[in-house]
Chains A and B, each alone.
Chain A
């Protein structure tokens, strides 16, 4: 009797992008019915590896076998046909189409004269029932919650009869409770014989769901461990490869009220984005805003960066009503770190020095009578680059070529110098400031925020990463559907309570009250 082949075998996969080796000679096997965790930092090569597996990239060397059959490289269709399903971190769904449309696409011969929608709907409902994933096939994707969208993504793969499911950072956008329900679904899938690759950089989850853990670092496979034989500490060290001191919050006495929101609401195109927000942020404290993506955090950040106007209510900075223009906020010494470095934080095609001064170009420091003081601007940029350790080829280079970490340092440097030479910002608005950064850069950003708070800045930190909030925030409030809950001292929250609040459950506040 021959041995049954593994569900998936990658042999000696190597992939280079120019000078960067994203995957260096990586081999792995996935058994039937196994959950294999792929652990690694941002930029360790996890995404590249699964992109190769799914046919989005072609490896420079190496082979892939699915159930003993060699997979032709660079062909997503072949991967799908072989039973490989993929759930991306950023969902790939068409918002304006129905769930059924999204699931059916590509499952029928393209030139068939009509779609067999009735049969497809029956099969979708049957598949959904079998795996316990309830969904309305006719709902528009745009009307679904984040958790429901993820279910559609999983159903897309199951509908096609996937035997191997790859989930890329699936919990990044979920509440703790939604994550639990996802883990339960994964259990059901495995029980029915599916194999799963679970990609994450969160150690607790990895320990929770997987049988084996495979650790990637800088494109190399550094270790494979059976989950029950390893520990959080060991995995952390394997993943990072060095010890990183993540800064922790320290107790400080909060000072005067810097930012006050009084029943603030905001609308855009007839849609209510913010609904009666009230919040105080005092000098020297870090207030965290938690919430599932898309519950108004972006609007709150825009409000406090001067790019969105409140329709009712008061926005006061040190008692002064603020105008909805970035210039007013910058002039008052507000440091602003946007959620999307590339799309909002910088203008990628312009040189580094122009981006470094863009917020304050109109001030006498950098222009006179509409003429840019190029010498002063360049000198300022050179100082900033040195002070914040931005690595670059030169300040004339286009800003888009900077790495994520260096780009964030540039934005951080620009924001923190709003108060001019040697001054501390009065308020820092940081929206997801560590998203997509490696652990060294995360530590750097956290240290900057903590240092600024110690020097008297009020900090508002918006984050979808609960670990980050628990690590550095003094108080945390939860946003849900444009409303903001009460900001409580971090030690008064448990993960479960925050999770319930993120899902909009009123029970969360009651539990917290009882505590």
Chain B
């Protein structure tokens, strides 16, 4: 078996690749469903129904998609510049923590500032916290050549422990009966609900707006050009006079900020406070979403909705048939690997026999 480079990559193939990967994923995972002793067709139908079957289901899916769009964007923009940010999980948590630090009801009242001022400050703090957490790995990569994958991964553990420390210490909610939970955010700072009697909040609009903004930046600005050039060929970009280091650092700040905002959204839009199980791996799922989207900022929205649907659908499905909801994680992971292969096949043709 060997690979032969295609001279041109067709647009159709690029659109087809994620669909093929998802189809393949569901075929493979059908085996697991069958192994768990459930009827495959019914299980998948339940999964679909749980994700889209009712107004409530759709609302739940959109609620889940909100942080996923942001972590997906964080991964997509970083991967575009070939900065492998695997630390979105940690960045999300520190973003959430920063939101509470600014907007929390410390000592029962919180900061004595107008909500109109405090709200942007809270967003800024969350974004900044995430951005700063990625700045270290990016800087080490540029200055010392330290692999950012391992450093950003290790920082996830550090960040989570730091959050745990704060929840035990200065930000502990005294009324939480010993549960590791932060003080609540001021009610005035909570995101508005978009639909009545659901959990969909205006963080979704923020995520969608940022997707469009990132798309515009990548396509129409000199920074976007530098981002793409640095990712595709850093030496070539440096020769052309593009500021490679500055571009990578800016990219790190943007990527970390997006992940940090995902944390802000979870606190101010959904939970109201920080817990240690706030994110069921949204940061890691962001990587899958970015790959499924082919790193396209608008594609991220669709891919995030897909992953959100799988997570929400699996939860609801597992309550009916005896398939553990861990199947959702398996589906997401398989989709990532399948997408890697599918993306490769858009650029290469598989040939049997030798060159």
Contacts and interface: CB of A to CB of B under 8 A. Distances in A.
**Co-assembled chains A and B:** yes
Interface of A: 18, 56-58, 73-74, 305-307, 325-327, 330, 336, 338, 343-350, 354, 358-359, 361-362, 367, 370-372, 374, 397-398, 401
Given A345-B239, A401-B8, A374 B220 contact: yes
B175 interface: no
B108 interface: no
A397 B240 contact: no
Q: Across chains A and B, which 7 residue pairs bring their CB atoms closest together, nearest first? A: A326-B241, A358-B240, A349-B232, A74-B354, A347-B233, A327-B241, A347-B236
Contacts of B228: 347, 349-350
B241 A367 contact: no
B221 A307 contact: no
Nearest to B229: A347
Nearest to A338: B239
Contact of A326 (B8, B233, B238, B355): B238
Interface in B232-273: 232-233, 235-242
B146 to A, nearest CB: 15
Nearest to B232: A349
Given A345-B239, A349-B228, 7 more contacts: A73-B354, A343-B236, A350-B229, A354-B225, A358-B240, A367-B222, A398-B9
Given A348-B232, A350-B228, A57 B355 contact: yes
B236 A370 contact: no
B223 interface: yes
B7 interface: yes
Given A74-B354, A359-B241, A345 B236 contact: yes
B222 A370 contact: yes
Contacts of A74: 354-355
A358 B8 contact: no
Given A57-B355, A350-B232, A372-B220, A336 B8 contact: no
A353 to B, nearest CB: 11
A401 B7 contact: yes
A372 B239 contact: no
B8 to A, nearest CB: 7
A305 B242 CA distance: 13
Nearest to A343: B235
A428 to B, nearest CB: 15
A359 B355 contact: no
Interface of B: 7-9, 220-223, 225, 228-229, 232-233, 235-242, 353-355
Given A58-B355, A348-B232, A371-B220, A307 B225 contact: no
The residue among A343, A348, A350 with the most chain B CB atoms within 10 A of its own CB is: A350
A330 B237 CA distance: 14
Contact of B238 (A307, A336, A346, A367): A307
Given A354-B225, A371-B220, A401-B8, A325 B241 contact: yes
A56 to B, nearest CB: 7
B355 A349 contact: no
B233 A348 contact: yes
Contacts of B241: 306, 325-327, 330, 358-359, 362
Contacts of A401: 7-8
Contacts of A345: 236, 239
Given A326-B239, A346-B236, A359-B241, A372 B7 contact: no
Contact of B222 (A56, A327, A343, A361): A361
A350 B220 CA distance: 14
Contacts of A326: 238-241
Contacts of B354: 57-58, 73-74
A362 B220 CA distance: 13
Contacts of A344: 235-236, 239
A325 B246 CA distance: 13
A368 to B, nearest CB: 10
Contacts of B220: 371-372, 374
B148 to A, nearest CB: 20
A490 B324 CA distance: 80
Contacts of B239: 305, 307, 326, 336, 338, 344-345
15 contacts: A326-B238, A343-B236, A344-B235, A344-B239, A347-B236, A347-B237, A348-B236, A349-B233, A350-B232, A358-B242, A362-B241, A370-B221, A370-B223, A398-B8, A401-B8
A88 B21 CA distance: 41
Contacts of B221: 370-372
A372 B355 CA distance: 43
